[in-house]
Amino acid sequence: MTDAVGSIDMPDAEDEAPDSQKKTRKGGKRAKKGPLKRLALFYRQIVAELRKVVWPTRNQLSSYTTAVIIFVVVMIGLITLIDYGLSHVAKYVFG
């Protein structure tokens, strides 16, 4: 029975490769480098990724900050009202 992906009964072509053709990896590139070189590579990759970041302008940053502060104040107000209401309900129910 064949579907779009393949058959359950028949393995994919890559699964049919004999074991002798498969390459075994012993250590890879990391095993050849010392811990300080790996640490230096890690920091170089961090710097390279930070260069790719699109940083917001001062206008965007201030508008995002304002939006977050307003959202937090609104959520604090909602939770305060809910807490106040539930405390009064609990006092009414339990006396």
pLDDT tens digit sequence for 1-55 = 555 555 556 555 555 555 555 566 565 555 577 889 999 999 999 999 999 999 9
pLDDT tens digit sequence for 64-87 = 999 999 999 999 999 999 999 999
> How high does pLDDT run on average in the chain?
82
Q: How many CA atoms lie within 13 A of 77 on its CB side?
A: 6
pLDDT tens digit sequence for 7-21 = 556 555 555 555 555
CA 8-13-16 angle, to 5 degrees, is 90
